[in-house]
Amino acid sequence: MDGWFTMLSEVECQRCGDCCRWAGYVYITEEDVKRMAGHLSLSEFEFVNRYADIIHRPRLNLKTKPNGECVFLEGNECGIHELKPKHCVDFPTVWRIRDLESFCSGQRKALRKDT
């Protein structure tokens, strides 16, 4: 199991955007909201109304586009990469996703390197 976590920590983002299209929630913290709202010159209230949903009280998550992509995905790039939520920063090391390599090209590359 330790080798698996070491390998996950070595996953290098391939900037494919696939994790931003994955059908799941991106939880955002109060600190995330403050940071992103400030960058977008919005009040925290405006940011939450425009870009967040409440799913599991009291948690907020980022909204998605009608096609399921993250609201901040621009092509294959994160439009707020330097400010992205902690949940995204921690990907994939703290996410528990079955068959992660099926959609994460960075994970596939790390697996090939490990063998």
Q: Taking residues 73-93, what's their average pLDDT?
A: 87
pLDDT digits (tens, 9 = 90+) for 22-41: 777 889 999 999 999 999 99
**What per-residue confidence (pLDDT) applies to 41?**
97
**What per-residue confidence (pLDDT) applies to 19?**
84
**What per-residue confidence (pLDDT) applies to 9?**
55
| Cα 111 from Cα 29, distance rounded (Å) | 31
Domain ranges of the chain: 2-114
State the DSSP code for 30: H
pTM of the prediction? 0.75
Q: Are 101 and 111 in contact (CB under 8 A)?
A: yes
Q: How many other CB atoms are found less than 10 A from the CB of residue 95?
A: 15
Residues 6+ apart with CB under 8 A from 42: 50
Q: Which two structure tokens, joined as six digits, stand for 57?
A: 């009280």
Q: Taking residues 58-87, what's their average pLDDT?
A: 91
**What per-residue confidence (pLDDT) applies to 108?**
66
73-74 and 52-54 strand pairing: unpaired
